[in-house]
């Protein structure tokens, strides 16, 4: 799913000066506005909020979260675009800068954040690779596939549809992992929660587990077929809980299987 982006001659490069004391906006037109694309950013400090819309450009608004000693602090945004591959740069790195980004609905994402912010993605269709060192990751109303990881944060993801035969992964060291899949998804869930409970609304694990079995499951990987199996979906949390939700549960509600917390 990773795409290697090489910045070479001929790439469109854009930047703007600050529009006010704490914010800057950048609009990036696409070379092929009717085709899917990919947006890439490695942000150092601040939140990232990405929303899909029915447009043909990538729009970035950057806001400084806190004040500065400078009379007019400058946020420097730079973007390189070629063949619908957009790479964003943000500086200065030591300031906390929150990013609000609009991308066309059919856009893949590679988002990375190092500190002081949550990453949110809404209404995007594509391949999503999201890493947040110190914060939460939230996906809502997305279509496609995802590789999500955070060290100190929770993960929530709500899929309207998933890419057939595409593996996915959801990993958090400190937080909870809560993922909603369509009711007709076909996958093999590989699950591990070392110090928390696991709940699966697809009810494909055994309906009961003894205390010793539950202990063994927390210490190793547990496998669950979702509608007969398919590509591997890996869900892991060391300190948090894992909840696999089913979006379509029928008239009697979801049947759940829970491994009790240690």
| CA gap 82, 198 in Å, rounded | 44
Structure tokens given for 93:
């790195």
Q: Is 77 left (phi over 0), alpha (psi -120 to 50) or beta?
A: beta
In this prediction, residues 162-182 reach a mean pLDDT of 97
Q: Is the pLDDT of residue 9 over 50?
A: no
Structure tokens given for 230:
């398919």
pLDDT digits (tens, 9 = 90+) for 115-151: 999 999 999 999 999 999 999 999 999 999 999 999 9
**Lowest-confidence pick of 69-78, 79-88, 95-104:** 69-78
Residues 6+ apart with CB under 8 A from 196: 176, 218, 237, 239, 240, 241, 242, 261, 262
Please tell me whether the peptide bond between 92 and the residue prior to it is cis, using omega within 30 degrees of 0. yes
pLDDT category at 62 given cuts 50, 70, 90 is: very high
Longest distance between any two alpha carbons in the chain, whole Å:
65
Looking up tokens 């009697």 gives 252
pLDDT digits (tens, 9 = 90+) for 179-224: 999 999 999 999 999 999 999 999 755 434 445 555 655 568 999 9
* Cα 32–chain centre separation: 25
Cα angle 149, 150, 152 (rounded to 5 degrees) comes to: 160
In this prediction, residues 13-23 reach a mean pLDDT of 50
Structure tokens given for 216:
């063994």
Q: Is the pLDDT of residue 261 over 80?
A: no
**Lowest-confidence pick of 8-22, 94-108, 161-175:** 8-22
Q: What is the 3-state secondary structure (H, E, C) of the chain?
A: CCCCCCCCCCCEEEEECCCCCCEEEEEEECCCCCCCEEEEEEECCCCEEEEEECCCEEEEEEEECCCCCCCCCCCEEEEEEECCEEEEEEECCCCCEEEEEEEECCEEEEEEECCCCCEEEECCEEEEEEEECCCCEEEEEEEEEEEEEECCCCEEEEEEEECCCCCEEEEECCCCEEEEECCCCCEEEEEEECCCCEEECCCCCCCCCCHHHHHHHHHCCEEEEECCCCCEEEEEECCCCEEEEECCCCCCCCCCEEECCC
């Amino acid at each position: 799913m990773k795409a290697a982006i090489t910045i070479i001659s001929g790439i469109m490069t854009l930047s703007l000066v600050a529009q006010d004391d704490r914010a800057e906006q950048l609009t990036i037109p696409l070379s092929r506005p009717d085709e899917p694309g990919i947006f890439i950013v490695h942000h150092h400090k601040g939140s990232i909020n990405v929303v899909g819309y029915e447009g043909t450009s990538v729009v970035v608004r950057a806001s400084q979260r806190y004040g500065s000693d400078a009379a007019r602090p400058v946020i420097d945004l730079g973007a390189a675009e070629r063949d619908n591959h957009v790479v964003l740069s943000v500086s200065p790195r030591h300031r906390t800068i929150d990013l609000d980004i609009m991308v066309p609905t059919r856009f893949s994402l590679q988002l990375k954040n190092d500190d002081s912010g949550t990453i949110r993605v809404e209404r995007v269709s594509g391949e999503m690779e999201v890493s947040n060192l110190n914060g939460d990751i939230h996906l809502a109303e997305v279509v496609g596939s995802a590789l999500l990881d955070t060290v100190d944060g929770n993960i929530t993801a709500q899929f309207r549809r998933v890419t057939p035969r595409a593996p996915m992964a959801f990993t958090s060291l400190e937080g909870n992992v809560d993922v909603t899949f369509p009711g007709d998804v076909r996958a093999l869930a590989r699950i591990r929660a070392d110090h928390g409970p696991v709940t699966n609304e697809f009810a494909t694990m055994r309906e009961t587990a003894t205390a010793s079995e539950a202990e063994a499951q927390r210490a190793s990987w547990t496998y669950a077929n979702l509608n007969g199996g398919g590509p591997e979906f890996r869900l892991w949390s060391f300190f948090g809980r894992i909840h696999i939700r089913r979006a379509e549960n029928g008239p009697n509600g979801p049947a759940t299987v829970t491994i009790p917390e240690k």
